[in-house]
């Protein structure tokens, strides 16, 4: 195990900057378990409003305050940050001035943008196109509501990755037990594999528009994904993914080719409504929009990718900005896709008759001409490739966490055989299924939606618990206001996933009635929880918490080695809640298996 020292705690060292990052730990020595000595302090005064670290290291003063050292489970996760657009040295000094800070941001940017754009995958393109083709621009308001969901969830992941140096699956396994660790990884594996199959369906549909046979398109796409990932260079992989990120911007000219009415777009962004009124079909589509934008794999991917890129708390604010930019881009892209279908097919016989993304491309060809159709096909191909690449990598990272194997894009294929072997096997297996004549692709798509509904509640709950774990995040734990917002978001996501799960198993259920009842129960539950929380805080005002031992400034704090952490103590209510969650998961999986057998049997 390698430790990652925090060399920036010396007094007088200016903190890096745009926005001001906490000068916590820089990366560690890549091959030794012995921390490198801190570099000498730079002259000058700290430009950040962050608290000053203890000056105990000065000559003749008291012994320095002990500080936590971030542990990394793979020595390749320590060293220089080598991003697509720049490099930051392991012990590089703080950045001053707008130009230097901008260069630092360019070196850091990547995990947030890739995870967000990757979530607008083939399924996302199809869902947003369906929303526009069947409901016009009336559902744009849903996207605005998704912005805080994306930002809050992924910001918590940013802190977990930068502060702990441990992947999401590993933390779940260590803090909640092997059952939850293996369940999370197992469900993620199945869900991601089936989703990767849908990505290759997107590849087939997009290149099929150009007349390319799927027996040529799918294998070539699979080879490209494996080649760019298993290059042994993190920088090469990230630059390859940025090609897909930039290609996603084709939705902007495509938006204007559809001759949009900006007034209608602005109106439906801020005024909620559903064309034709609320019914089971429209509510399920709204849930689908949420599900395709907020997915469990995002948590596993971004946390591990931050670690793999060697981003430490020193650069945490840069990574937050990377995530915020990604959230804006993903919402803008989704809005553009909805608007394209809404304005292109409005007042035509195509409106209200969505089939699939391939049908959307053909329809655009007839209504707007070949150029917009080509743009849409390229956007679909791009979305399929970046989705497949990011999804598969999240699975490889998760398995590396559980098995404790080398899991880094900095390593060559021969040095991380299991890591790249899992990636290659998933890609090859998913591609092969798409090429099988008569493969149950419709059943696979349905299973993806249902499994996402099963995994999302547990993933969301664990994320919130981890971000309130004193041993894991220490002073980086969630603030009270963030907890309140996160609890509401997690509760809504759990409700939506339950509705989606119920409609999959019981297709004749009245979705509108279930949604209203579920919403009322949720509101009552949140209100009761809020009152209990206020009562508990009122009682707790009389209790003073005394910190024993030396205090480590927040900007220097990182999680100690997992083996040194105290086991979490669960209250009776938490035990009951976790047992209830486990029961729900067991019953849900059993019902899904029964449903899949019924559908496969005709």
Per-residue model confidence as pLDDT tens digits over 362-387? 999 999 999 999 999 999 999 999 99
Can you tell me the mean pLDDT for 59-66?
40
Can you tell me the mean pLDDT for 62-87?
72
pTM: 0.82
What integer pLDDT is reported at residue 533 of this predicted model? Answer: 66
Domain contains 434: yes
Per-residue model confidence as pLDDT tens digits over 23-33? 443 333 333 33
Structure confidence at residue 581 as a pLDDT band (50, 70, 90):
confident
Tokens 């005064």, residue located: 45
**When comparing pLDDT for 289 and 546, which is higher?**
289
User: Rounded mean pLDDT of the chain?
Assistant: 81
Domain contains 314: yes
Domain contains 20: no
Structure confidence at residue 561 as a pLDDT band (50, 70, 90):
confident
Per-residue model confidence as pLDDT tens digits over 138-169? 999 999 988 888 899 899 999 999 999 999 99
Structure confidence at residue 543 as a pLDDT band (50, 70, 90):
low
CB atoms within 10 A of CB 332: 16
Can you tell me the mean pLDDT for 87-96?
77
Can you tell me the mean pLDDT for 238-242?
95
Q: CA–CA separation, 198 vs 208, rounded Å?
A: 15
Decide if pLDDT at 246 tops 90. Answer: yes
Can you tell me the mean pLDDT for 91-117?
87
Q: Which of 163-177, 244-258, 412-426, 578-592 has the lowest mean pLDDT?
A: 578-592
* Number of domains into which the chain is organized: 1
Q: Which one-letter DSSP state was computed for residue 37?
A: P
**When comparing pLDDT for 213 and 578, which is higher?**
213
Q: CA–CA separation, 266 vs 270, rounded Å?
A: 7
Owning domain of residue 326: 108-465
Decide if pLDDT at 44 tops 80. Answer: no
What integer pLDDT is reported at residue 545 of this predicted model? Answer: 52
Per-residue model confidence as pLDDT tens digits over 456-482? 777 888 899 999 998 999 889 998 888
Decide if pLDDT at 4 tops 90. Answer: no
Decide if pLDDT at 94 tops 90. Answer: no
Angle (deg, nearest 10), helices 370-403 and 357-367: 160
Structure confidence at residue 496 as a pLDDT band (50, 70, 90):
confident
Domain contains 27: no
Domain contains 540: no
Per-residue model confidence as pLDDT tens digits over 500-532? 777 777 777 787 787 788 788 878 877 776 776
Per-residue model confidence as pLDDT tens digits over 273-327? 889 887 778 887 888 888 777 788 999 999 999 999 999 888 999 999 999 999 9
Helix (H, G, I), strand (E, B) or coil at 87: strand
What integer pLDDT is reported at residue 430 of this predicted model? Answer: 94
Structure confidence at residue 600 as a pLDDT band (50, 70, 90):
low
Strongest mean pLDDT among 86-95, 106-115, 165-174: 106-115
CA dist 148 → 296, 321, 396, 476 (Å): 16, 14, 28, 20
97-107: b or e for each residue (b if 16 or more CB lie within 10 Å)? eeeebebbbeb
1-35: b or e for each residue (b if 16 or more CB lie within 10 Å)? ebbbbbbbbbeebbbbbbebbbbbbbbbbbeeeee
**When comparing pLDDT for 555 and 306, which is higher?**
306
Domain contains 23: no
Contact status, residue 367 vs residue 348, Cβ threshold 8 Å:
yes
Peptide bond into 537 cis (omega under 30): no
Angle (deg, nearest 10), helices 357-367 and 178-209: 30
CATH number for the domain harbouring residue 183: 1.20.1740.10
Can you tell me the mean pLDDT for 230-254?
94
Burial class (CB in 10 A: 0-12, 13-18, 19+), 374: middle
CA dist 282 → 88, 99, 130, 449, 504 (Å): 48, 48, 11, 16, 15
Domain contains 500: no
Domain contains 90: no
517-556: b or e for each residue (b if 16 or more CB lie within 10 Å)? ebeeeeeeeeeeeeeeeeeeeeeeeeeeeeeeeeebbebb
Per-residue model confidence as pLDDT tens digits over 412-450? 999 999 999 999 999 999 999 999 987 777 677 767 766
């Amino acid at each position: 195990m390698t430790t990652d020292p925090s060399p920036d705690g010396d007094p007088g060292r200016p903190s890096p900057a745009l926005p001001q990052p906490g000068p916590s730990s820089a990366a560690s020595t890549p091959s030794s378990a012995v921390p490198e000595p801190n570099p000498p302090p730079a002259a000058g005064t700290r430009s950040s409003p962050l608290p000053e670290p203890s000056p105990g290291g000065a000559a003749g003063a008291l012994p320095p305050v002990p500080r936590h050292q971030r542990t990394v489970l793979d020595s390749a996760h320590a060293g220089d940050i080598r991003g697509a657009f720049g490099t930051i040295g392991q012990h590089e000094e703080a950045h001053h001035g707008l130009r230097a800070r901008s260069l630092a941001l360019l070196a850091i940017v990547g995990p947030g943008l890739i995870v967000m754009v990757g979530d607008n995958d083939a399924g996302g393109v199809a869902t947003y196109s369906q929303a526009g083709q069947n409901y016009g621009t009336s559902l744009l308001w849903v996207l605005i509501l998704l912005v805080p969901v994306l930002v809050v969830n992924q910001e918590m992941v940013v802190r977990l990755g930068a502060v702990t140096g441990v992947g999401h699956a590993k933390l779940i396994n260590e803090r909640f037990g092997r059952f939850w660790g293996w369940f999370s990884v197992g469900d993620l594996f199945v869900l991601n594999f089936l989703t990767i199959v849908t990505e290759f369906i997107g590849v087939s549909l997009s290149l099929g528009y150009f007349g390319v046979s799927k027996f040529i398109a799918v294998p070539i796409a699979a080879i490209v994904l494996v080649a760019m990932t298993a290059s042994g260079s993190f920088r090469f992989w990230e630059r390859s993914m940025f090609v897909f990120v930039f290609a996603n911007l084709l939705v902007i000219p495509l938006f204007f080719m559809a001759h949009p009415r900006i007034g209608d777009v602005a109106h439906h962004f801020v005024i909620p409504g559903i064309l034709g009124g609320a019914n089971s079909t429209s509510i399920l589509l709204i849930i689908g929009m949420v599900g395709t934008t907020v997915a469990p794999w995002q948590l596993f991917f971004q946390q591990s990718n931050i670690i793999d890129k060697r981003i430490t708390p020193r650069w945490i604010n840069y990574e937050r900005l990377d995530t915020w930019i990604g959230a804006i881009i993903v919402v803008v892209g989704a809005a553009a896709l909805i608007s394209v279908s809404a304005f292109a097919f409005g007042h035509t016989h195509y409106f209200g008759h969505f089939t699939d993304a391939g049908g959307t491309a053909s329809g655009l060809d007839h209504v707007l001409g070949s150029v917009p159709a080509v743009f849409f096909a390229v956007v679909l191909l791009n979305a399929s490739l970046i989705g497949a690449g990011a999804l598969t990598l999240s699975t490889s990272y998760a398995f590396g966490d559980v098995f404790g194997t080398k899991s880094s894009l900095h390593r060559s294929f021969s040095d991380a055989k299991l890591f790249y072997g899992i990636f290659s096997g998933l890609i090859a297996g998913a591609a092969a299924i798409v090429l099988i004549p008569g493969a149950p692709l419709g059943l696979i798509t349905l299973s993806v939606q249902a499994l996402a509904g099963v995994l999302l509640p547990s993933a969301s709950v664990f994320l919130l618990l981890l971000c309130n774990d004193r041993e894991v995040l220490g002073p980086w734990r969630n603030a009270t206001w963030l907890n309140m917002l996160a609890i509401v978001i997690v509760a809504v996501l759990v409700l939506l996933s339950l509705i989606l799960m119920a409609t999959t198993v019981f297709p004749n259920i009245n979705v509108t009635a279930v949604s209203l009842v579920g919403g009322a129960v949720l509101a009552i539950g949140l209100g009761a929880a809020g009152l209990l929380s206020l009562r508990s805080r009122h009682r707790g005002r009389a209790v003073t918490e005394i910190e024993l031992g030396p205090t480590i400034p927040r900007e220097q704090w990182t999680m100690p080695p997992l083996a040194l952490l105290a086991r979490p103590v669960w209250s009776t209510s938490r035990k009951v809640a976790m047992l209830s969650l486990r029961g729900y998961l067991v019953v849900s999986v059993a019902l899904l298996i029964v449903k899949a057998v019924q559908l496969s049997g005709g």
